[in-house]
Chains A and B, each alone.
Chain A
Amino acid sequence: QVQLVQSGSELKKPGASVKVSCKASGYTFSNNEMNWVRQAPGQGLEWMGWINTNTGNPTYAQGFTGRFVFSVDTSVSTAYLQISSLKAEDTAVYYCARGWGGRTAAGFYPWGQGTLVTVSS
């Protein structure tokens, strides 16, 4: 079945970097874009952007430029989210989600299980 499996929780100090992985299985990885969604503690869902898994070209939403980098490794069907210069406010669960239902659609199916990134000194 179509599945996205993310890497485990991370505890980082302010100023450090983190790289979250999202391994896809059950479908042709390069056929669908991969999205990243953030959920801060007790808050709603926030779309961070997406990456074209065929070309590797990323698109970042407002507020997610500069310190956030999306990448893919098609040889292992895996997408990555790297966040540098971590701040306390980056503490959140980060989800990857396969784009579904059309390029200009808010379809995300399926979702990874989420990766909790905690930034604390």
Chain B
Amino acid sequence: QSVLTQPPSASGTPGQRVTISCSGSSSNIGSNYVFWYQQLPGTAPKLLIYRNNQRPSGVPDRFSGSKSGTSASLAISGLRSEDEADYYCAAWDDSLSGPVFGTGTKVTVL
């Protein structure tokens, strides 16, 4: 059972900007860093954003993360066909003493 809530789907046409929300609580997003993962079809998840808004080497700057209070967002600008994937947020939860994942959002490029 996921503790972080995401919309099940999001979509856009090539070149558009898509935003995915991630809603949590004071024990997770409210007091810890948020991470984002991209899971392309049939592959393992890949780290996309760390510590709320940092991109690992090799991740295009079209991807950006932000956090405010107990919510976080992932934005994809200049949407491309290869961005079609499932996206998950994650954060440490102090009450559970472990990391928790979001419910996941499937991004479709129309």
Contacts and interface: CB of A to CB of B under 8 A. Distances in A.
Given A45-B88, A106-B100, A109-B56, A101 B33 contact: yes
Interface centre among A35, A45, A95, A105 (most CB of B within 10 A): A45
Nearest to B33: A105
B103 interface: yes
B45 interface: yes
Given A44-B104, A109-B56, A113-B44, A101 B50 contact: yes
B35 A107 contact: yes
B45 A95 contact: yes
A4 to B, nearest CB: 9
Contact of B100 (A47, A104, A110, A113): A47
19 contacts: A44-B102, A45-B88, A46-B101, A49-B98, A59-B98, A62-B96, A95-B44, A97-B45, A100-B47, A104-B94, A106-B34, A106-B92, A106-B100, A107-B33, A108-B35, A108-B47, A109-B47, A111-B44, A111-B45
Interface of B: 2, 32-35, 37, 43-47, 50-51, 56, 88, 90-92, 94, 96, 98-104
